[in-house]
């Protein structure tokens, strides 16, 4: 397996290690864009992290939908609105690089993931990996998830921290559906390595020093790379029905298998892309169902009608019949999208909103800001799944709702996410009534992926 020299591996997220990244050539090139530089050294970073939506709203109110900020040591330009989402996500003119947008944040731990690739190389690997999301393998994951979730339900009930419980469940089901591993010490060891990596990606210290999150994250990555390397060879010889086997057997346009180290990088990235996003959005959905019992009842009735009773599996063929559940999940994704902002870097100069934006500019869009914009959504602070009836969807700007991104990088796992959340809704709601504990109202940590600071204190009353 190809390995990188240690000094290169430790700096993959830096400009120095990436001479091909397009340079802005000095922050002064953005002097003509209205905005703020914030405090010395810290810039606007802390304000953006503390209250991203509030900060964005203030900036749009003060400077308009194209504004400049200075975070993590450099200036960048934010483009806010549905048209901006369309320009950047659809990217008709191939103006924007994902690698150079996400790379500074994710390259150290999740290098060469699909979301960090650009254009032709990205197209070829995306096509190869897509086989893992075709109906046959999806039906197999559905079976594994149904039984994994059902057996976890035996230990649920009473007062619980919903976020913590769903996170543990998502990790365990990922071991079986993604990796084909039974629960046990091996799955636990991998889960721990994985959690260390995810923690490190948001650590303040960006160098892998001993006793830091980054130090543990890089060690976790080493363990996963080694383990997955062996697993590719095993699964090629003896494939199972898990996603890893699909990736191990995926071929490029010319019929060649993806190289082993490429399979490993894609799998590690995919686990990261899947895990906290599902945990966060399922938590938001159940938080709102706990606060809106009439919607909880409607979804419970739908699950009973589709599966035929309480505590029964939801068949792959029946996923499409969970229409209200799908609408409620879409509303949860609007309400608090797991990926609130998406970074890119401009490869060439372009114009938007009357401003000339030079090559090399870090560019950010914010689906979260558009999801909260009264121009597209009446009373955006209200949870209302009826916003997603087909006629309402058809009458709205296509990019007013973009929790899964769009264009060439549109989330590859979105059908998997819908499936997992529908299965969770079925198994949880036909066994429990979910209420908030008395007086519990979570405050939410917004960054990097929304989570309730108190773990979401709910009461689960068994009904079956």
Work out how close the CB of 281 gets to ligand HEM at its nearest, in angstroms, rounded to a whole number: 4
CA distance 21 to 17: 9
Q: In terms of CB distance, is 285 or 440 closer to ligand HEM? A: 285
Answer yes or no whether residue 429 interacts with ligand HEM by CB under 6 A.
no
DSSP 8-state class, residue 133: G
Q: How far is the CB of 70 from ligand HEM (least distance, A)?
A: 21
Instruction: Give helix then strand counts, H and E, for the chain.
Output: 17, 12
What residues numbered 229-268 form the site for ligand HEM, per CB under 6 A?
none
- Backbone phi, then psi, for 352, in 5-degree steps? -155, 135
Euclidean distance between CA atoms 367 and 48, whole angstroms: 15
Mark the segment that binds ligand HEM (CB under 6 A) among 3-11, 196-204, 248-256, 397-405. Answer: 397-405
Nearer to ligand HEM, 148 or 403 (CB): 403
Strand partners, 436: 458
CB closer to ligand HEM, 328 vs 440? 328
Considering only residues 166, 232, 250, 342, which one is a binding residue for ligand HEM as defined by CB under 6 A?
342
For residue 413, give both structure tokens.
């796992």
47 binds ligand HEM (CB under 6 A): no
Measured distance CA(357)–CA(407) in Å, rounded: 21
Task: Please give the Cα distance from 433 to 273 (Å, whole number).
Answer: 30
Which of 69, 277, 307, 430 forms a contact with ligand HEM (CB under 6 A)?
A: 277
Shortest reach from residue 417's CB to ligand HEM, in Å: 4
Asked if 285 interacts with ligand HEM (CB under 6 A), we say no
Instruction: Please give the distance of CA 304 from its chain centroid, rounded to a whole number.
Output: 30
Name the residue number minimizing CB distance to ligand HEM. 413
Give the separation between CA 55 and CA 74, rounded to whole angstroms: 17
3-state secondary structure 52-112: HHHHHHHHHHHHCCEEEEEECCEEEEEECCHHHHHHHHHCCCCCEECHHHHHHHHCCCCCC
> In terms of CB distance, is 279 or 430 closer to ligand HEM?
279
Give the nearer residue to ligand HEM in terms of CB position, either 89 or 440. Answer: 89
Residue 145 and residue 129: Cα distance in Å, rounded?
Answer: 20
Compare residues 322 and 342 and give the one whose CB is closer to ligand HEM: 342
Place of tokens 């003509």: 32
CB 95 within 8 A of CB 82: no
Among 140, 417, 428, 446, binds ligand HEM (CB under 6 A): 417
Name which position in 79, 114, 262, 368 contacts ligand HEM (CB under 6 A): 114
**What residues numbered 72-101 form the site for ligand HEM, per CB under 6 A?**
98
Q: Identify which range of 21-29, 219-227, 334-342, 388-396 contacts ligand HEM by CB under 6 A.
A: 334-342
Bridge partners for 445 per DSSP: 451
Tell me: does residue 115 bind ligand HEM (CB under 6 A): yes
Asked if residue 281 binds ligand HEM (CB under 6 A), the reply is yes
Decide if residue 400 touches ligand HEM (CB under 6 A): no
Relative orientation angle of helices 414-429 and 162-177, to the nearest 10 degrees: 120
Q: Which of 43, 405, 442, 455 binds ligand HEM (CB under 6 A)?
A: 405
Interaction of residue 413 with ligand HEM, rule CB under 6 A: yes
Is residue 173 a contact point for ligand HEM (CB under 6 A)? no
Q: What is the 3-state secondary structure (H, E, C) of 292-355?
A: CHHHHHHHHHHHHHHHCCCCCCCCHHHHHHCHHHHHHHHHHHHHCCCCCCEEEEECCCEEECCE
| Phi-psi map region of 343: left, alpha, beta (phi>0 left; psi -120 to 50 alpha) | beta
- Map the footprint of ligand HEM across residues 119-138, applying CB under 6 A: 126
**Among 192-200, 219-227, 409-417, 434-442, the segment contacting ligand HEM (CB under 6 A):** 409-417
Q: Is 464 annotated as a binding residue?
A: no
Give residues in contact with ligand HEM (CB under 6 A): 98, 114-115, 126, 270, 273-274, 277-278, 281, 333, 338-339, 342, 403-405, 409, 411-413, 416-417
Binding residues for heme: 411
């Amino acid at each position: 397996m190809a390995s990188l020299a240690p000094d290169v591996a430790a700096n993959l997220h830096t400009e120095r290690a990436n001479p091909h990244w397009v340079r802005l050539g000095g922050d002064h090139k953005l002097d003509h864009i209205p905005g703020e530089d914030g405090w010395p050294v810290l810039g606007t970073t802390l304000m953006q992290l503390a209250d991203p939506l509030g900060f964005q709203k203030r900036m749009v109110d003060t400077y308009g939908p194209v504004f400049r900020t200075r975070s993590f040591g450099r200036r960048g330009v934010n483009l806010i609105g549905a048209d901006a989402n369309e320009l950047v996500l659809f990217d008709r003119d191939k103006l924007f690089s994902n690698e150079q947008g996400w790379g500074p944040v994710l390259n150290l731990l999740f290098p060469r993931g699909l979301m960090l690739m650009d254009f032709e190389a990205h197209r070829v690997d995306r096509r190869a990996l897509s086989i893992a999301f075709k109906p046959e393998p999806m039906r197999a994951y559905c079976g594994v998830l149904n039984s994994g979730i059902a057996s976890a339900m035996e230990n649920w009930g009473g007062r619980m921290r919903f976020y913590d419980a769903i996170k543990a469940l998502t990790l365990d089901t990922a071991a079986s559906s993604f990796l084909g591993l039974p629960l046990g010490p091996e799955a636990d060891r991998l889960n721990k390595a994985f959690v260390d990596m995810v923690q490190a990606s948001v650590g303040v210290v960006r160098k892998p020093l001993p006793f830091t999150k980054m130090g543990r994250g890089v060690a976790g990555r080493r363990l996963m790379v080694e383990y997955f390397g062996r697993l590719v060879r095993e699964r090629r010889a003896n494939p199972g029905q898990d996603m890893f086997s699909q990736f191990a057997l995926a071929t490029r346009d010319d019929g060649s298998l993806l190289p082993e180290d490429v399979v490993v990088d894609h799998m590690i990235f995919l686990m990261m892309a899947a895990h906290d996003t599902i945990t966060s959005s399922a938590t938001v959905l159940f938080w709102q169902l706990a606060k809106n019992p009439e919607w909880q009842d409607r979804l419970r009735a739908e699950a009973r009608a589709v599966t035929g009773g309480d505590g029964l599996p939801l068949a792959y063929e029946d996923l499409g019949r969970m229409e209200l559940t799908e609408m409620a999940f879409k509303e949860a994704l609007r309400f608090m999208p797991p990926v609130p902002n998406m970074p890119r870097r401009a490869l060439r100069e372009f114009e938007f909103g009357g401003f000339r934006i030079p090559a090399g500019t870090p560019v950010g869009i914010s689906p979260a800001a558009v999801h909260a914009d009264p121009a597209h959504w009446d009373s955006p602070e209200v949870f209302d799944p009826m916003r997603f009836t087909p006629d309402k969807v058809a009458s709205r700007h296509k990019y007013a709702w973009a929790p899964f991104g769009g264009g060439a990088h549109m989330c590859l796992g979105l059908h998997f996410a819908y499936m997992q959340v529908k299965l969770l809704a079925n198994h949880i709601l036909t066994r429990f009534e979910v209420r908030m504990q008395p007086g519990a109202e979570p405050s939410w940590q917004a960054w990097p992926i929304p989570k309730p600071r108190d773990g979401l204190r709910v009461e689960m009353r068994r009904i079956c």
